Each structure stands twice: as C-alpha cells, then as structure tokens.
Structure 1
Amino acid sequence: MSANRYQQHFIVSWDQLHRDVRELCHQLVERDFKGIVAITRGGLIPAALIARELNLRLIDTVCIKSYDHMDQGGLDVMKGVDHDGDGWLLVDDLVDTGKTARKVREMLPKAHFATVYAKPEGRPLVDQFLTEVGQDCWIQFPWDMGVAYVEPLADRVRGEASGEDAS
C-alpha cells in the first residue's frame, strides 16, 4: 500500500458515526433480519449500533485478517459462520478495494450486505451503504484516534515568538 494512495482525509467523530449509522438504519428498518454478522474488527461498532436501532439481539462475527504488505494482500479467514447468510444482515464500517467484501460474499452469498461508507472499487459488492467517499480518501475512524491536549493558540504563538520550544 503506497503512502501516496491517499490524497484526502475524512475524519469521522463518534457523533458523526452514530448519526450516519442511524441514517443507514432508516433504510434498513423495514426489512426483517434474523440477526447481524459483523465483519471484524471494523464492523463491530457499527453492528452494535445497528443492532440497537433495529432491535436485533442475535449477532455473530466473521473474522478476517488481511496482510497488506507481508503477503501481497492475502486474506486469512480466522472465523466464519455455519450458514449462507439467508435472512442475515452483514455489516462492515467500510468497503474499500473490495478484497475483504469479495471473500465475505463468497462465504455469505445470501446476506444483505450494508456498510456505512463505500469507495468506488468496492461499492458494487455491497447491497447498501450510506456515504460514498473517493478511492483516494483515508477514513479516520474514531476508534483509531485518541484525545490529546492541544495547547492554546495564544500560548503556542507566544512561545514561538520568544524562541521557546512550544512542545
């Protein structure tokens, strides 16, 4: 994966994610699902939020590990499920290149596949998504970020003006 691949950044806050998942649920609420299959790890949090909004209690996981730089994009299915997805909602946070989505589609061909965010390369593999982002966009999810102290601007400017180290 090239560092130059991502020309844009999209930062998703917890509040934004919750709003987006609720909006996606408005499109799903009329359907009758047996349960949810979350694709780990990115699909876990959206799946929990969707389960609450759709009042579903049966949640399973498909656990897939991808090897981007070690194994030229190989996939290792660490845990599957024992059905074809009929009547189930398959959930992930994002469909990107479609590599993981293709594998999960093979495993659960009858599932209804929904993601919160979709990129053009992977979009045809999902049944439903809320927001499309560019293929060159890096999505920064809230579970990958931490909260850190930020020095007040005035203190930083004064520190730089006096030649002090602002850090």
Structure 2
Amino acid sequence: MSDRLPHEKGFHVSWDQLHRDSRALAWRLDGQGPDNGDWKAVVAITRGGMAPAMIVSRELDIRTVDTISVKSYHSGGGKADQRREAQVIKSPDAELMGNGEGILVIDDLVDSGKTLELVRQIYPKAHFATVYAKPQGRPMVDTYITEVSQDTWIFFPWDMALQYVEPYRGKD
C-alpha cells in the first residue's frame, strides 16, 4: 500500500502541453461534424473547458462559441473537494443548441462523468469531447486525447503557481 495521498499521484499539465493536446483534439474532430464534416458551434463547459474550447474553435474556424456552467463540486471547509449532484447554473443559447446536433461540447477532463451525463441528457445529439479522460467517465465522452488512471489528480496550469517542490525520494 502506498503512503501517498490521492492527489500526490499527479499529472502536471503546462500551458504548452494543454495547447498541444487541445490542438490534437481539434485535429481529431476535424471533418467529423454532421454537416459535410462541419460543426455548427462549440460549447465550453465552464470553467475548465474554456481554454480547450477556444483552441478547438480557432483550429476548426468555428466562430460561434457559447458556454454552459455546471456546478458539481464545492469546497469542503478545509477538506478535500467533495462531490454533490451536478446542476446547470448557466445554459447556452437555446435556439442555437436545439437537441445538440452539430454542436461540439468541450471540457478539459471527464472524471466521474456526472457533469457530462447531465449535459448529455439535455443535449443528447451533441458531440462530447475532452482533452483528458479517466476510466469512470470515459463512456460519457465521444472523443478524447489522453487517458489517465482514475486515481491520478490532474494539475491544470490555472491551478498551479511556481514554487519549489521536494523531490519524490530524498532531500538532495
């Protein structure tokens, strides 16, 4: 048994890496839309999906970009983040969305799949794409780039600051 806490099995993603992986996601999605390969719009799941959605929309020359805000975590009062039932707190334009056909819904990560499950219920014909996927949530995503283990904590560039980190083994 490991003495490490779950967040200590970390996968650190730099801005450069996120950009490369988001471009790879765009390349994978290119020509896959239902309208002669084109997509109508990109919808980012806030907040983590905003950077990848911007990159995907740029690479695929999709000018219509909207957001959906889903809240599924809350601070545990000093404890690790705790899950709660997901709820939509801001929806994209209803006329644009319809049932989701021709829409790319982008997020940074699918973890448990609860967020994407909720959004998929609302927009069943949308195409769901994430940059990173964990096994538990993978059935909720149509396209992703990199899979990481369920017990890996992904540190995104917007979550990090530059500081000294002790070596994994030893002190020198």
TM-score, reference length from structure 2:
0.79
How far is 1:123 from its partner? 0.3
Cα distance in 2 for partners of 1:60, 1:136 equals 31
Identify the residue that residue 133 of structure 1 maps to in structure 2: 148
Partner-residue secondary structure (3-state), 1:73: strand
| Residue type at the aligned position of 1:22 | R
Tell me if 1:96 matches 2:111.
yes
Unmatched tracts of structure 2, length 5 or more: 33-37, 77-81, 165-170
Tell me if 1:114 matches 2:125.
no
Cα distance in 1 for partners of 2:113, 2:27 equals 25
| Residue type at the aligned position of 2:84 | G
Cα distance in 2 for partners of 1:17, 1:122 equals 20
Of 52-61 and 62-71, deviating more is: 62-71
Alignment match of 2:85 (pick from 74, 91, 100): 74
How far is 1:4 from its partner? 4.1
- Whether the 8 Å contact between 1:68 and 1:74 is mirrored in structure 2 is no
Aligned residues: percent identity? Answer: 52
How far does the alpha carbon of each residue in 1:50-100 deviate from its partner, in whole angstroms, 9 at most, with x for none? 111011110011111113566851222111231221100010000000111
How far is 1:119 from its partner? 0.1
| Residue type at the aligned position of 2:66 | D
Identify the residue that residue 168 of structure 2 maps to in structure 1: none
Tell me if 1:9 matches 2:24.
no
| Residue type at the aligned position of 1:36 | V
List structure 1 segments (4+ residues) > 2 angstroms apart after TM superposition: 3-7, 67-72
Aligned length: 150
How far is 1:102 from its partner? 0.6
Partner-residue secondary structure (3-state), 2:149: coil
Partner-residue secondary structure (3-state), 1:86: coil
